[in-house]
Amino acid sequence: MSTGSRRLLLAISLLAIAGIVVSSVALYHHYGSSKTSYCDIGENFNCDVVNRSTYSVVLGVPVALIGIMGYVALLALSTVYRSKAETPLFLLISSFAGLGFALYLTYIEGFVLAAWCVLCLSSLGLIFAICVLSSILMAKTGRSA
């Protein structure tokens, strides 16, 4: 494995850890009963509106928990399974699936709830960055194979 590939995997790992943290904070506030002070920035930016809406749960599972599981999977792929030949492809597929889900949730925020969540937007930025890095990793490993 080249130095560039190792650096990409390290960056993906760090972004996945940040995603776990952001999603964990969102999950904590999903079950919380008090208002979040850092995210109530007016009518348009309110994590509580988003994080406690009917859209914050899919089949009984909080969206934030789904995010944690997704970021843990990405972290595992970029660390434990990094030496496997199929890992770049799995990272690419997994990260784009996560991005698709995040974009759907962002659509819900903007066009259904008319409220934005700073945590959700942070997660969107993280998964987008992981997609970009996974694409670069896939391109690098595809060329060297």
Q: What is the pLDDT of residue 111?
A: 94
CB atoms near residue 74 (< 10 Å): 26
113 burial via Cβ count (<10 Å: 0-12, 13-18, 19+) = middle
Tally of domains within the chain: 1
Q: pTM of whole model > 0.85? A: yes
What is the span of the domain harbouring residue 134? 3-144
Output the tens digit of pLDDT for each of the chain's 145 residues: 788 899 999 999 999 999 999 999 999 988 877 776 667 777 788 888 888 889 999 999 999 999 999 999 999 999 998 888 899 999 999 999 999 999 999 999 999 999 999 999 999 999 999 999 999 999 988 755 4
Residue 100, C-beta contacts closer than 8 angstroms, at least 6 positions apart: none
Residue 128, C-beta contacts closer than 8 angstroms, at least 6 positions apart: 99, 102
Q: What is the CATH number of the domain that holds 134?
A: 1.20.1440.130
d(CA 114, CA 127): 22
